[in-house]
């Protein structure tokens, strides 16, 4: 069974977590964590490198021992170091680690102080008030633990869309090997670019479904066959993701694509419109009475109903039907419209590539510029830069710019927003930067009024340009901190600064509902990757997907501007 980079990274992360709980040497723990991050961010598949005979020790941070463990994972699906730790520690510890907000440090305290060995133990301890009595926990943590235990089953039914991409594309490629010319589409929330997906729908148009069904259920990553029919089959992959395959006739392909893309609310609205016009719409086509009218292509479905084509990302019943009828749908931003990335990190803080390497990779992608925005000094865990180190970095950027043709590196910083709303670096240095991103990285548990006022005060700094990952959420892991985003949007409109859509798949923050509200109030959006390596520049696709779901056009996005126009806009923001 093929092993993907995320499989290797997940096992190394689990080893690091279990080692930390087991009081292992911190350098050993860090080695596994760094290896997990490196492999997860790689553009090339490690198993393919092995098959090609490449030396894995050439990967940054991978020595002989880690290389051997990678080889073991790729060839056997596991590694002895992990199996030994799983045997040494209670099996329920792994389940506890999956709860949002409980990292290895807290799990270690729970295990050592309360002898918590399972979710059941943890629930009993929390209900008895024992968790809140521990140092660093508190009543809010205890309440959140109970809430997360209750929601665990529901949370476990969804997957980050970005994590599903490799499996989805590999499976689609497998089916294309059976029928090379057959139209195939990944539908559902995956096609609508939802931040998370519950399952995967694959649609194929073919007159010979049986070979496809046989290939589907026998695919080597299938863990369980849930159903095996002549035109529809369902399986569960090793990852736990359920995948449904449906094969339809070519005359129904467009109608089926529309139907299985959804959303349910959008489909209901379309069917209601069809009924009002005397039509019937389902997965087999558009019908007038019993007569087939259209359905081979999605465009036919919309055209028959008097609608402009609606992009999949907009199909949520949020006004798209009325806009399509009025021919007033937005021309959505695309990845090709992006001229540069304004939020990324280098080796100066917690990135894995130098400024020059990031710049060359961005230029190779067709960008005209990027902004290096390493963390500021408060974030010591990320090796944040103080004023002296930032000044030295600015000189390094001048050197890189003098040597690169047709590309510009902008000077920036991701500055921590402090408890009182001040910024982590003084104005004397902020005024010399091109881009200042303000972000919240601590004190997530402030009340909504205090958190909102804290961020609004930071936005009032004259050099503040962009509010980074505005709600602090980590999908399926950490809830947003309490903050009044409508007030933040209103304040951004008054102040003239931008809000970010962060393309990191765990963040995709700002949420599309708020991002749409922002552009409606004239607030500009900056779609960034928050890249920590050259490979993570590819995360722009996820940020763009989020932007499209927010009805965002090219004109709404700061970094679709030319360098000349970007500088003008930044000058206005900072005036």
Given a contact cutoff of 8 angstroms between Cβ atoms, the answer to whether 338 and 527 are in contact is yes
Residue 371 confidence (pLDDT) above 80: yes
| pLDDT tens for each residue of 403-452 | 999 999 999 999 999 999 999 999 999 999 999 999 999 999 899 999 99
Report residue 565 CA to chain centroid gap: 29
Residues 307 and 394 in one domain: no
Q: Is the pLDDT confidence value at 153 over 80? A: no
Looking at the predicted structure, is the pLDDT value of residue 3 above 80?
Answer: no
Containing H/E element for 393?
helix 387-403
Question: Is residue 447 one of the residues assigned to a domain?
Answer: yes
Phi, psi of 235 (to 5 degrees): -135, 165
Token match 């940054």: residue?
A: 60
Look up residue 109 and give its two tokens. 């305290």
Q: In the β-sheet with 280-282, what is the strand arrangement from edge to edge?
A: 280-282, 285-288, 291-294
Pick from 106, 122, 155: which residue ends a domain? Answer: 155
Q: What's the average model confidence in pLDDT over 475-479?
A: 85
Please tell me the distance from the alpha carbon of residue 104 to that of residue 95, in angstroms, as a whole number: 12
CATH number of the domain at 287, please: 3.30.460.10
Lowest mean per-residue pLDDT among 26-30, 341-345, 347-351: 26-30
Query: Residue 90 pLDDT > 90, yes or no?
Result: no
Reduce the DSSP state of residue 159 to 3 states and report it.
strand
The count of C-alpha atoms lying within 13 angstroms of the C-alpha of 29, restricted to the half-sphere facing its C-beta, is: 13
Q: Which of 126-135, 301-310, 367-376, 535-544 has the lowest mean pLDDT?
A: 126-135
Mean pLDDT of 109-114: 91
Residue 471 has pLDDT above 70, yes or no: yes
**For residue 490, is it within any domain?**
yes
Same domain, 140 and 170: no
Residue 154's pLDDT is 52
In angstroms, what CA-CA distances link 371 with 42, 116, 307, 386? 22, 46, 41, 18
Does residue 488 carry a pLDDT above 80? yes
- Residue 196 lies inside a defined structural domain of this protein: yes
Residue 503 forms part of a structural domain: yes
Q: Do 305 and 350 have their domain in common?
A: no
129 and 216 both lie in a single domain: no
Q: For residue 140, name the pLDDT band (cuts at 50, 70, 90).
A: confident
Of 86-90, 208-212, 312-316, 362-366, which gets the smallest average pLDDT?
86-90
Q: Which residues lie closer than 8 Å to 163 by C-beta, 6 or more apart?
A: 6, 505
Strands (E), 472-566: 498-502, 525-528
Q: Which of 396, 411, 394, 404 is nearest to 368 (CA)?
A: 404
* Res. 151: pLDDT tops 80: no
What is the spatial distance between Cα 169 and Cα 211, in angstroms, rounded to a whole number? 19
Among the ranges given (36-50, 63-77, 284-298, 488-502), the one the predictor scored with the smallest mean pLDDT: 36-50
Q: What is the mean pLDDT of the chain?
A: 93
Same structural domain for residues 286 and 380?
Answer: no
pLDDT per position as a tens digit, 323-338: 999 999 999 999 999 9
Question: 140 is written with which tokens?
Answer: 């809010």
Element (H, E) at 166: helix 161-176
- Say if residue 549's pLDDT is above 80: yes
For residues 179 and 103, membership in a common domain is answered with no
Q: Strand 466-467 relative to strand 159-160: parallel, antiparallel, unpaired?
A: unpaired
492 and 560 within one domain: yes
One domain, residues 114 and 213: no
Alpha helix segments (H runs only) across 218-333: 253-261, 264-276, 298-304, 320-325
Give the range among 39-48, 185-194, 254-263, 485-494 with minimum mean pLDDT.
39-48
Give the contacts of 54 (CB within 8 A, at least 6 positions apart).
none
Contact 463, 495 (CB under 8 A): no
pLDDT of residue 174: 95
For 534-551, the DSSP string reads SGGGGGHHHHHHHHHHTT
Counting residues of the chain whose pLDDT is more than 90, the rounded percentage is 78
| Confidence check: pLDDT of 61 > 90 | no
pLDDT confidence of residue 266? 96
CATH of the domain at 102: 1.10.150.110
* Residue 341 clears pLDDT 90, i.e. is over it: yes
**256 pLDDT higher than 80:** yes
Q: What CA–CA distance (Å, rounded) separates 394 from 414?
A: 14
| Same domain, residue pair 321 and 400 | no
Residue 111 structural domain: 5-155
State the CATH number of the domain containing residue 388: 3.20.20.140
Does 330 reside within a domain? Answer: no
6-17 in b/e burial notation, b at 16+ Cβ within 10 A? bbbbbbbbbbbb
Query: Which residues partner with 205 through β-bridges?
Result: 248
Same domain, 117 and 187: no
Give the pLDDT score at 1: 52
Domain boundary among 155, 172, 203: 155
Cα–Cα dist 202/208, whole Å: 16
Domain shared by 501 and 566, yes or no: yes
User: Where would I find the beta strands (DSSP E) of 229-359?
Assistant: 232-237, 242-248, 280-282, 285-288, 291-294, 340-341
List phi, psi (to 5°) of 545.
Answer: -60, -45
pLDDT at 58 over 70: yes
Q: Look at the chain and report how many structural domains it folds into.
A: 3
Lowest mean pLDDT among 69-83, 175-189, 197-211, 322-336: 69-83
Kind plus residue range of the DSSP H or E element containing 225: strand 222-228
Looking up tokens 């005359």 gives: 251
Q: Assign 42 a pLDDT band (cuts: 50, 70, 90).
A: confident
Q: For tokens 């399986």, what's the residue?
A: 235
Give the number of C-alpha atoms closer than 13 A to the C-alpha of residue 205, restricted to the C-beta side: 18
Q: Domain boundary at 325, 348, 367, which? A: 325
pLDDT at 575: 81
Query: Which conformational region is residue 297 in: left (phi greater than 0), alpha (psi within -120 to 50 degrees), or beta?
Result: beta
Q: Is residue 108 part of a domain?
A: yes
Largest CA distance in the chain: 76
| Per-residue pLDDT at 521 | 97
Q: Are residues 148 and 170 in the same domain?
A: no
**What is the share, in percent, of the chain residues with pLDDT greater than 70?**
98
DSSP state of 555: G
For residue 491, is pLDDT > 80?
A: yes
Whether residue 101 has pLDDT greater than 80: no
Distance CA 146, CA 148 (A): 5
Q: At what angle do helices 5-21 and 80-88 cross, to 10 degrees?
A: 40
């Amino acid at each position: 069974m093929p092993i993907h980079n995320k499989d290797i990274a997940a096992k190394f992360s689990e080893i690091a977590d279990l080692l930390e709980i087991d009081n292992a040497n911190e350098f050993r723990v860090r080695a596994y964590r760094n290896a997990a991050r490196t492999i997860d961010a790689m553009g090339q598949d490690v198993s393919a490198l092995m098959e090609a005979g490449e030396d894995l020790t050439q990967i940054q941070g991978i020595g002989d021992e880690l290389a051997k463990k990678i080889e073991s994972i790729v060839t056997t699906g596991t590694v002895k170091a992990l199996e030994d730790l799983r045997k040494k520690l209670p099996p329920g510890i792994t389940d506890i680690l999956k709860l949002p907000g409980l990292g290895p440090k807290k799990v270690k305290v729970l295990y050592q102080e309360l002898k918590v060995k399972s979710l059941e133990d943890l629930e009993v301890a929390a209900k008895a008030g024992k968790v809140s009595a521990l140092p660093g926990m508190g009543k809010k943590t205890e309440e959140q633990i109970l809430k997360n235990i209750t929601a665990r089953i529901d949370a476990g039914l969804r997957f980050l869309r970005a994590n599903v991409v490799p499996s989805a594309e590999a499976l689609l490629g497998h089916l294309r090997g059976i029928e090379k010319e057959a139209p195939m589409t990944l539908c559902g929330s995956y096609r609508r670019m939802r931040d998370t997906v519950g399952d995967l729908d694959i649609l194929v148009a073919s007159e010979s479904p049986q070979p496809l069904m046989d290939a589907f259920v026998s695919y080597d990553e299938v863990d369980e066959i849930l159903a095996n029919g002549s035109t529809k089959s369902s399986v569960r992959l090793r990852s736990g993701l359920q995948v449904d395959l449906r094969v339809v006739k070519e005359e129904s392909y467009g109608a089926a694509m529309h139907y299985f893309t959804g959303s349910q609310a959008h489909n209901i609205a379309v069917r209601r419109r069809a009924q009002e016009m005397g039509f019937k719409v389902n997965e087999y086509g558009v019908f007038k009475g019993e007569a087939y009218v259209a359905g081979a292509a999605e465009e036919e479905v919309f055209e028959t109903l008097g609608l402009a084509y609606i992009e999949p990302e907009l199909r949520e019943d949020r006004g798209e039907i009325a806009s399509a009828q009025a021919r007033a749908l937005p021309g959505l931003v695309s990845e090709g419209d992006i001229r540069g990335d304004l939020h990324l990190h280098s080796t100066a803080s917690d990135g894995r590539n130098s400024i020059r390497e990031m710049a060359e990779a961005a230029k190779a992608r067709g960008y005209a510029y990027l902004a290096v925005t390493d963390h500021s000094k408060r974030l010591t865990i990320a090796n944040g830069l103080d004023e002296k180190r930032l000044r030295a970095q600015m000189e390094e950027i001048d050197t890189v710019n003098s040597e690169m043709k047709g590309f510009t590196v902008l000077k920036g910083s991701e500055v921590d927003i402090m408890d009182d709303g001040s910024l982590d670096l003084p104005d004397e240095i902020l005024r010399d930067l091109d881009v200042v991103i303000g972000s919240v990285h601590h004190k997530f548990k402030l009340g909504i009024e205090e958190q909102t006022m804290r961020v609004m005060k930071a936005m009032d700094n004259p050099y503040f340009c962009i509010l980074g990952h505005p709600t602090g959420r980590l999908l399926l892991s950490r809830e947003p901190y309490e903050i009044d985003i409508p007030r933040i949007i209103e304040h951004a409109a008054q102040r003239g600064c931008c809000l970010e859509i962060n393309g990191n798949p765990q963040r995709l923050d700002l949420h599309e509902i708020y991002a749409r509200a922002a552009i409606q109030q004239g607030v500009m959006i900056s779609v960034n990757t928050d890249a920590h390596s050259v490979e993570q520049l590819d995360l722009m696709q996820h940020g763009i997907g989020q932007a499209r779901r927010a009805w965002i056009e090219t004109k709404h996005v700061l970094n679709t501007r030319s360098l000349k126009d970007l500088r003008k806009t930044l000058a206005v923001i900072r005036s």
